[in-house]
Chain A
Amino acid sequence: MTARILDIPVWEVVKKIANQEISSEDYISETLERIQKIDPKINAYITVIKEASLDKALELDKQIRQGKTVGRLAGLPIAIKDSICVKNIKNTCGSRMLENFVAPYNATVADKIIREDGIIIGKTNLDEFAMGTSTEHSYFGATRNPWDSSKVPGGSSGGSAASIASFEAALALGSDTGGSIRSPASFCSVVGLKPTYGAVSRYGLVSYSNSLEQIGPIARDVRSTAILMDCINGHDIRDSTSKNTVPQRFADIFKNTVKNLKIGVPNEFFGEGVQKEVHKSIWNVIHKIEKLGFHYEKTTLPLVKYALPAYYIIAMSEASSNLARYDGLRYGFNVLKNNLNWNTTFSKNRRNGFGDEVRQRIMLGTYTLSAGYFDQYYLKAQKIRTLIKQDFDRAFKKFDILVVPSMPILPFALGEKLNDPLSLYMCDINTVPANLAGIPSISIPCGLSSGLPIGVQIMAPPFREDLLFKAGYLFEENVTIDKSVGEFTNV
């Protein structure tokens, strides 16, 4: 009996907790037990917050019994990527550099979750400083895919997506710089939204590439994803790039089913790097939708073929500057405190505190910003970025949404691509265009191939997350995924 509460859709759970059908205490206990039981095999969490979570659950249950109004996330266990600060909790970014760094403040999204009575149950694993597509580049070990623990969960928000897929949390937050929410959402068969740039405050998110990234929600279904997005979006005076608009509300948009959707399917996202199983699965779902009376049209976004190199140049350039602050002087890894001049101290701290992938990206980014190379790399990449934006603008004059594969390939084995960074970078080919254009994009589970998940990606114009949720809901309703075949995806 008790095992089943984790199986109830989260958007229903929150209602049931509020009307006392389920107690938050039970739900949190179940979740903590689940974590204790299976996380040693998955490694989704870097930090689990046990006592405080249970205390908060008891307190909320009491308030509910007393008839007090509680927040919109009341009693739900929420996992947060370990690059998003939660006050007085370690914020490691998956790095030795910040192994013992305790955040002195809450990220705005953490504040908002707390205000809505969400229970932050832990901090999840990630590729070091969010640089990766497999969650293998973490100082705290790789996270494993709950569907098949020999496979990677995608990344860099692999811990968040895995925690959702394995029922170790109800909702999760990730961050997406070039696909870091959609990649693990796709690989773990959960829903992950990368919001419009500026829709969610980045205050408290440790920057990797600040002009590209957004914090976004991950959940097991579209409606539950919308609940979390509902609570975290909106302007924040502490993040100048957050858009100064009224927060969007998504909780009620599922009352009316969507009638008209002009669907575009751009060729560039179905290139030779896309595995045939993925092809098949995506077209399968498009045809299902077509049968319901929604028409699609093939289209083209010619500049998108330059997206990947432009993305990596911009991301690494910004990373080289964003990560310059980690020198061990004010916080973080410090190899030796005395008898060295500051220059040597900085070098030693950075050499030993950062992992190989991070160091590689810092060095490449330093190179692309250097005098003599700045114009041919950084500036050119920015020009391409503008052109890609214009490509999308044109497309969205004709279509409401664009439908493409999230990941070009199926989840691969741990270690398979560790020595082949280029093929790892290629995994981001379908996700980076949305980051360059700043548009919202969602990954929805759309099928399994040999028991491994495939995700469909839907993109919409800026601040049209509502379209993504509506379309995503429609897709979700027409796809059935057998969770019983997964190793840890069945409660």
Chain B
Amino acid sequence: MSSESKKIKIGLEVHCQLTSLKTKLFCNSPSDYREKPPNTNICPVCIGTPGSLPVLNRNALNYATMVASSLNFEIMSHMIFFRKNYFYPDMSKNFQITQYDRAGGVPFAINGYILLNDGRKIRLGRMQLEEDPAKISYDGTIESSSETYVDYNRAGIALIEIVTEPDLESPSDAREFLNKLSSILEHLNVLDLGLEGSVRCDANISHRGGKRVEIKNISSFKEVERALNFEMTRQKSLASKGISVSQETRHWDDVRRITISLRLKEEEQDYRYFPETDLVPVTLSETFIEKINHDMPELPKEREIRFQQEYNHSSEIARVLVKDKYLADYSEKAAKESIAPREVGILLAVNLPPFLNEIGKDLKSLDVAPEHFAELADMISKGEVSRRSAKTIFLEMLKTGQKPRNIFDKKGLDVISDSKSIEDIVTKIFKDNPEAVKDAAKDTKAINFLLGKIMQETQGRVDPSIATKLVKQKLSVQ
């Protein structure tokens, strides 16, 4: 890590919807609000109809306990909910039911952490459970729109808020942290990260000792690194011009990919937090927490170790595979079908990412069965295809979704292994390139040119060591 980036301090406030819950946090409206016509996924409770009362979704407690436990949090055994009072159209009651760490309140959990690959501990100050506000939209921008549209379909969805200490030292740290967090949450099966708006993030960033800038409403984890990079560059460039950074809140515009000043930090808004007495205090017994821990699904860290033992993956490969639950599940399916699971790991962890980067897609959107990866790995390990042919097949398989063996048969990509055929090819190349042969006789480095020609001729189906041996033999004879 460069000394430059060490001057940066980054903290994140992450909001995750518990999308796997069937219903909202305090009523029976479905959690699945997406794609529904506006204001159809609602009930008296979540639109704050007079006389309605919230009732806590007990499953949300189970999920929150799982999350807190797997992020090494200390879970509070006794907690109450609070009202955060503010007037805004996105809150049907003009207050949000949340948790609070003052005025006799405690968050859901405190003092958690996530370890980065290099062993650095990113401290998680607190985690709390709260309700999601409604969605507000405008015709165009806030300024130009004559109307404010409010859709309460999302209002009341269960959210967990996780707040880090400013322990992250670079935008790439933030990315690594969020990857680890995502993978844990996905392994817990408490939310689907693929759903639009299921995770949101606020970030704060400062040069060590400098003023803190908050970036609000970053709408996906992928955007976080971009927003932070932009902001880091902006702050550095200000600093280089001798302009001091002001403490302010900025908004991430993910279309223009810039941060925009929202407001300079004035007085903190007074939310008049006080206890929500429509809900009764929550007690989480030790037995309850033990049971949750006992029934906990396998987490990425455990899976990484098992992958090394069970499929003979290197620790590097295993780490890459568990970074994303979909990839981990996929690789496991493929590995189970293959006699060479280690090869499967290499294909998926080493060869696949550059291809995906290039075409700008993810594994999910490719129409390739895990069994195809298994088949290709088997062909490689049996020596049926050369590495170079394997790559051709691999790319073809990813593009067309065809079975590796079909591609292999169609293209005639089997290895040329009988020495008579190879000798014939070498003879032909010598005949076609007399000048090169002369050069090679004088300078052994020039042999590579002839080898290249042979590979070209055979589409790489010749074992390079056999070809080299034959070329050298032939040169010595001449």
Contact = CB atoms under 8 A, between A and B. Distances in A.
A240 B56 contact: yes
Nearest to B86: A324
Contact of A104 (B44, B88, B146, B148): B44
Interface string A317-332: 1101100111101110
Contacts of B53: 202-203, 238-240
Nearest to B93: A325
Nearest to A371: B270
Contacts of A211: 277
B177 interface: no
B50 A101 contact: yes
A325 B45 CA distance: 12
B277 A210 contact: yes
B131 to A, nearest CB: 14
Given A240-B55, A342-B148, A374-B274, A325 B279 contact: no
B103 A91 contact: no
A189 B395 CA distance: 91
Contacts of B125: none
A202 B85 CA distance: 22
Interface of A: 83-85, 91, 93, 98, 101, 103-105, 107, 202-207, 210-211, 237-241, 317-318, 320-321, 324-327, 329-331, 339, 341-343, 346, 366, 369-371, 374, 378-379
Give chain B's interface residue range (CB within 8 Å of chain A).
20 to 34
A324 B95 contact: yes
A321 B274 contact: yes
Nearest to A85: B51
Contact of B272 (A105, A321, A342): A321
A370 B89 CA distance: 21
A84 B51 contact: yes
Contacts of B40: none
Nearest to B42: A330
Interface in B29-88: 44, 47-56, 83, 85, 87-88
B141 to A, nearest CB: 14
Contacts of A329: 89, 150
Given A240-B55, A241-B277, A324-B95, A85 B272 contact: no
Contacts of A206: 50-51
A369 B103 CA distance: 11
Interface of B: 44, 47-56, 83, 85, 87-89, 92-95, 103-104, 146, 148, 150, 270, 272, 274, 277-280
A325 B50 contact: yes
A317 B277 CA distance: 12
Contacts of B93: 324-325
Given A317-B274, A330-B92, A370-B272, A325 B48 contact: yes
Report which residue of B53, B278, B279 has the largest number of chain A beta carbons within 10 angstroms of its beta carbon.
B53
A210 B272 CA distance: 17
A318 B56 CA distance: 20
Nearest to B142: A341
| Chain A CB within 10 A, most for which of B47, B52, B55, B87 | B52
Given A85-B50, A324-B87, A374-B272, 10 more contacts: A104-B49, A105-B44, A240-B53, A317-B274, A320-B272, A325-B92, A329-B150, A330-B92, A341-B148, A343-B87
A107 B148 CA distance: 32
Nearest to B148: A342
17 contacts: A98-B50, A103-B51, A104-B49, A107-B51, A203-B51, A207-B51, A238-B53, A240-B54, A320-B272, A321-B95, A324-B85, A325-B92, A325-B94, A339-B146, A342-B88, A343-B87, A369-B274
Contacts of A370: 270, 272
Given A210-B277, A241-B277, A366 B272 contact: yes
Most chain B beta-carbon neighbours within 10 Å: one of A91, A202, A321, A326:
A321
Contacts of A326: 50
A83 B51 CA distance: 8
A203 B52 contact: yes
Contacts of B277: 210-211, 241, 318
A198 B278 CA distance: 11
What's the dominant secondary structure at chain B's contact region? loop
B85 A321 contact: yes
Given A321-B95, A329-B150, A342-B148, A205 B278 contact: no
B278 A327 contact: no
A211 B54 CA distance: 14
Contacts of A103: 50-51
A324 B272 CA distance: 12
Which of B85, B94, B272, B279 has the most chain A CB atoms closer than 10 A to its own CB? Answer: B272
A321 B91 CA distance: 12
A208 to B, nearest CB: 11
Contact of B94 (A84, A318, A324): A324
Contacts of B103: 374, 379
Nearest to B152: A330
A76 B93 CA distance: 36
Given A204-B51, A240-B56, A324-B95, A210 B278 contact: yes
Contacts of A105: 44, 49
Nearest to B83: A321
Give the 5 A-B CB pairs with smallest separation, nearest first. A324-B94, A211-B277, A369-B272, A206-B50, A204-B51
Nearest to B44: A105
A173 to B, nearest CB: 13
B51 A91 contact: yes
Contacts of B94: 324-325, 327
A163 to B, nearest CB: 21
A98 B50 CA distance: 10
Nearest to B136: A342
Which residue among B50, B85, B87 has the maximum number of chain A CB atoms within 10 Å of its CB? B50
Contacts of A331: 49-50
Nearest to A329: B89
B13 to A, nearest CB: 21
A318 B275 CA distance: 9
A99 to B, nearest CB: 13
B93 to A, nearest CB: 5
Most buried by A among B49, B95, B150, B270: B49
Contact of A330 (B48, B51, B270, B280): B48
Interface centre among B54, B85, B274 (most CB of A within 10 A): B274
A330 B150 CA distance: 10
Nearest to A378: B274
Nearest to B49: A104
Contacts of A203: 51-53
A279 to B, nearest CB: 36
Given A91-B51, A237-B55, A342 B89 contact: yes
Contacts of B274: 317, 321, 369, 374, 378
B423 to A, nearest CB: 85
Contact of B278 (A101, A240, A330, A374): A240
Nearest to A332: B50
A378 B44 CA distance: 29
Contacts of B54: 240
B278 A241 contact: yes
Nearest to A331: B49
A211 B146 CA distance: 40
A318 B89 CA distance: 20
A243 B95 CA distance: 26
B90 to A, nearest CB: 10
A104 B51 CA distance: 10
Contacts of B150: 329
A371 B48 CA distance: 26
Nearest to B26: A240
Contacts of B92: 325, 330
A327 B89 CA distance: 9
Contacts of A238: 53, 55
Contacts of A330: 47-49, 92
A202 B56 CA distance: 16
Contacts of A237: 55
Contacts of B56: 240
A107 B56 CA distance: 19
